[in-house]
Amino acid sequence: MGFLLLLLFLAVSAVYADEDAFVGVNIGTDLSDMPHPTQVVALLKAQQIHHVRLYNADRGMLLALANTGIKVAISVPNEQLLGIGQSNSTAANWVSQNVVAHYPATNITTICVGSEVPSSLPNAGRVLVSALRFIHSALVASNLDRQVKVSTPLASSIILDSFPPSQAFFNHSWKPVLVPMLNFLQSTGSFFMLNVYPYYEYMQSNGVIPLDYALFKPLSATKEAVDSNTLLHYTNVFDAMVDAAYFAMADLNFTSIPVVVSESGWPSKGDSKEPDATLDNANAYNSNLIKHVINKTGTPKHPGIAVSTYIYELYNEDIKSGPLSEKNWGLFDADGRPVYILRLTGSGSVLANDTTNDTFCVAKEGADRKMLQAALDWACGPGKVVCSPLMQGGPCYDPDTVAAHATYAFDAYYQKMGKAPGTCDFNGVATVTTTNPSHGSCLFGSGGKNGTFLNSTASGIGANITSGSPPTQHSNFKSFVAHVMLGILGWSATLL
C-alpha cells in the first residue's frame, strides 16, 4: 500500500490489500416520489458508482442490482434487530432470504446489523453482538463468510473527548458491548463502521472549528490543529474524527481493525439556523472528501491507508422529518438531476457528476433561425434526444426561444454521443464552448441530464448513423433538413 512507516500499520493495511479505497453512496428512501429500482440502478451505472449501502434488504433493489457488478452493503433494520439477536434461526432465515437468494448475481459484500444502535436504540444494545454473531454463523453455514463481512455502523458520539484524537475513548457505559463487538470484528476480519459528520461537529463548536477546517479547504500551517500528545498535524475534521476512532479502539487494546466511514456528507440547504448548509459548502465538502479518499491520503495516524467512505446520500429525501437540512443531503433529486456539479478533477473515474474543464455544444450566435429550428427538430426526433425539459413548465422551457431550446438539444446530443468529433456542428449552426450554459434548474453537460443518459452512446439512433460521426454527414439529417425546408416553402405557398 505504500507509506507504511511502522510495523503497527501492517495489520491494518493487510485488510485493504484486496481492494483500493472506494467511495460509495447511501441510498435512503424517504422520498415522496422514490424512483423505481431500475431507475436507481441506471443512475448508479451512469454515474460510475460501484459501491452502495442500502438501509434495508429491499428485494426489488437487490434484483435490479443483479449482474451489475456493483458492490452492495445491505442492512438489518433496527426494528428487526431484537428478533435476530434473540434467535439464531431468525438470523438464518434472514440471511437465506436476503443474501443466499441473491448472491452471487447481486454482489453483496457487507451486512450492516442495525444503525447507530447505542444512540438510537439503546435497549437493543444487549442483543447487538448476538445479532452480529448469529448473522455471521448463518453466512458460515452458507459458505459465504469470506465473501460477506458483518459489522454495525456507529455514531461518532459514542467516542468521547475526541480532540486531541490521542485522548479519545469510548463511552465507558458501552464497554460491555463494545469489547465483544470489537473482538468479533477482529476475529472475522471485518471493519469498524463509523458515521462521520464534520458538519455537526462544526455546527456544535460555537465557532471554535473554522469552516475551512470542516470543508477540507487548505489551511496555513499556523491554523492546523496539532495533537499535543503525538504532535500529529490535522488539516481537517474528518481525519481527526477517524483517528479518534483508531485511538479509542487502541484504548481497548484493538489496533488492527480498519475504519470504514459508513456515512459522511454535507447538506446543501438549511433553515435560518443553518446558514452554512449551502450548495457551495456541500459541493466543497463532498468534492474534497472524494479526492481525499481516492488519493489514499489516509489520516495522520495512518498515512496512506485508505479510509473507504459512503457518501450520505444519493437522493434528497423530501419527506424526511426534522429541520430543512435533513431533507437536503443528496447528490441528486428524485428525477436524477444533480443538486450541484461536483468538482472532481484528478480523482479518476468515480462519479460522472463532474464538469470541471467540461465542454458544451451551443447554438452559434446569429445562426439562421430556420436552420436552428430544423436542427432542433432533428435532435428531438431522429437524434433521439429527450427534449421533455423543453416543454412548458419544464426546467429548460425558459427562455422560450429557438436558440435557447436548440442549445439544450444540441448539448444533449453532444453529451450523449460522448463529445465525439463532429457531433457539435448541425450544418454549421452549433459550436463547442467551455462556458457552461446552465441556468436556474436547467443544467447542461454530463451532469445535467437524467442519470439514464449520462455517459451513454446513441447506438439506437439508426442503422444509417455511425456512433460518433458528425450530424452534418448523416444523410438522415440532411434529408430531414430538406424535408423541413420543403415543408416551410409549401406552407408559405399555401398562404400565398
Coil, strand or helix: which one is 351?
Answer: coil
Rounded distance between C-alpha atoms, residue 402 and residue 375, angstroms: 10
78-86 and 125-141 helices cross at what angle (nearest 10)?
70
Write down the catalytic residue from 201, 263, 313, 317. Answer: 263
End-to-end Cα, the chain, rounded Å: 78
Q: Which DSSP string do the residues of 226-264 spell out, in sequence order?
A: E-TTT--EESSHHHHHHHHHHHHHHHTT--SPPEEEEEE
Write down the catalytic residue from 116, 201, 313, 317. Answer: 116
Rounded distance between C-alpha atoms, residue 318 and residue 338, angstroms: 15
Catalytic annotation present for 263: yes
Catalytic annotation present for 116: yes
Rg over alpha carbons for the chain, rounded to the nearest Å, is 26
The DSSP secondary-structure symbol of 273 reads: T
- Tell me if the bond preceding 399 is cis, omega within 30° of 0: yes
171 CB-near residues (< 8 Å, 6+ apart): 118, 158, 159, 160
The answer to whether the beta carbons of residues 320 and 28 sit under 8 Å apart is: yes
Q: Which DSSP string do the residues of 434-482 spell out, in sequence order?
A: SS---BTTB--STTTS-GGGTT---TTS-TT--TTS-GGG-HHHHHHHH
φ and ψ at residue 178, rounded to 5 degrees:
-70, -40
Strand partners, 260: 193
Other CB atoms closer than 10 Å to residue 429's CB: what's the count? 23
- Annotated active-site positions, please? 116, 263
